[in-house]
Chains A and B, each alone.
Chain A
Amino acid sequence: MKVLFSIIIILSTSLYGFEMYRKLLNRKKILFSWIDLLRRIDLEVKYHKSSLPLIFKKLAKDLQGPISEFCLNISEALTKKEKILNDIWHEEINNLSVKYSLTKDDVKLLTQLGSFIGSYSSEEQTVQINKVVLTLEGHYKKAEENVTKYRPIYQYGSILLGILIVILIV
């Protein structure tokens, strides 16, 4: 019984640790995807001059994973014209933030993007997008550092914590 109890405790703390690590990794990945997405949007705005719904439709096909889903939802909503872009954008960013553990700063930055995307001349649009990309790159760098910094803590620390609890209780 004691052995089983010990295994459960160690497993639980380890799983918790791995889950926390997974969240850090996810945030890093999604930030990278966002930087990629914004660079692609910038190119489309600059050179192809497609409309925003078309850009998102195209990017939904080109990209993969959650960002592709995001683009598809935005494109569909813009085509249906049931809601304004800012509202749809807000909803979609909130969904992403829950699933991919975005921080408050990430959410704030990405939400602001929804209020101005498509509302400027191409020159201004490029400036605005580049500003966001620069800030996101800062966030990404920090996320990368966090992954390196907290990896041993979450992966090995959680196992050690489990063992410590077992020693103390059992």
Chain B
Amino acid sequence: MDEVISVFPLIYQKEISPYLTKHHQLEEIRIRAHQPLQLLFSNQSIWLTQIIGDEDCHTILTNITNYSLYRYDEQIKQGYLTMKGGHRVGLAGEVVLKNNNISYMTNITYMNIRIAKQLIYDLTQVIQKLVKRQGLYNCCIIGPPQVGKTTFIRSLSYELSKQYKTFLIDERSELSETMPRTAFRMIDILKNCPKHIAVTMAIRSMSPELIVVDEIGSNQDVIAIHDAMNAGVNVMCTIHGYHKEDIDNKTIFNEKQNLFLFDRYIILERKKDEMLAQFLNAEGKKLQSIEIRPYESII
């Protein structure tokens, strides 16, 4: 958490520090110009007292990027950047358009620092359900925002890399930053690369047994995943949604692609510190629910 606190000017650091005792429950820090900071925990929200000025927003942004804003051009165009520690920062301000495309975002005075969970879940039971006689089931993890999809898939790739050659596609540098560096894990990580390109690269040159992708969001991603499956590579990915039907209705899938693309679906739900993973088969039939707990130690 030090990397998050240190981006704030000293006056705000003093204000935030007392709330960090329950830091693993802190989910978001909202920064809005001319308003105090807002801290969002899993079950409550706290407004601090100091009003953030435009200049403070600029300082925070400069600190987040380590005085190197020019490195984040592409990410900023997409409205986010990833800071040290894998924390994603959502951005809003004034967009500059060029030929109807976003050229840049300026006057960034609204930020949302989403704290990356440094947890690894105990997924022994989940993995048992994902292993078939030969290899793994292709699996799609469905969950609403903030349910813990990224944390879940990070834990999953960490566990599966013990046995399978895993290729982790980390387009937003969120997954790998907090991945424990344990020896004898067969995991290769490609950062900052668009997912559909990364999948092709992986198949072509890295001979993975499993490709892990977080937050698929375009038809190009789906096509790439389809290609990977056709090449005999297992795929696990996450997607926003509440139910399998949400996926069926997504425009990123066309009817043909969605038809039995995945062998298993896992619907994630939050239950305080625990998570509930509901398993569905390809047809959407409910198979089993498993409660998942984090390991004792926080990495």
**Residues of A participating in the B interface, judged by any CB pair closer than 8 Å:** 45, 49-53, 78, 81, 84-85, 117-125
Contact = CB atoms under 8 A, between A and B. Distances in A.
A49 B71 contact: yes
B78 to A, nearest CB: 13
A66 to B, nearest CB: 22
A121 B69 contact: yes
A78 B69 contact: no
Contacts of B70: 45, 49, 118, 120-122, 125
Given A52-B67, A78-B67, A125-B70, A119 B6 contact: no
B66 A122 contact: no
Interface of B: 6, 58-59, 62, 65-71, 73, 76, 104
**Residue with the highest number of chain A CB atoms closer than 10 Å, among B58, B70, B71, B104:** B70
Nearest to B96: A121
A90 B204 CA distance: 51
Contacts of A51: 66-68, 71
Contacts of A123: 73, 104
B66 A119 contact: no
Given A84-B59, A119-B58, A121-B104, A78 B73 contact: no
A35 B69 CA distance: 22
A53 B58 contact: no
7 contacts: A52-B68, A118-B68, A119-B62, A120-B69, A121-B73, A122-B71, A122-B73
Given A51-B66, A53-B66, A119-B62, A81 B6 contact: yes
Contacts of A125: 69-70
Contacts of A50: 68, 71
Nearest to B65: A118
B66 A78 contact: yes
Contacts of A45: 70
Contacts of B58: 119
A117 B73 CA distance: 15
B107 to A, nearest CB: 12
Contacts of B59: 84
B104 A52 contact: no
Nearest to B67: A118
Given A50-B71, A51-B71, A125-B70, 12 more contacts: A49-B70, A49-B71, A51-B67, A52-B66, A78-B66, A78-B67, A85-B67, A117-B67, A118-B68, A119-B62, A121-B76, A123-B104
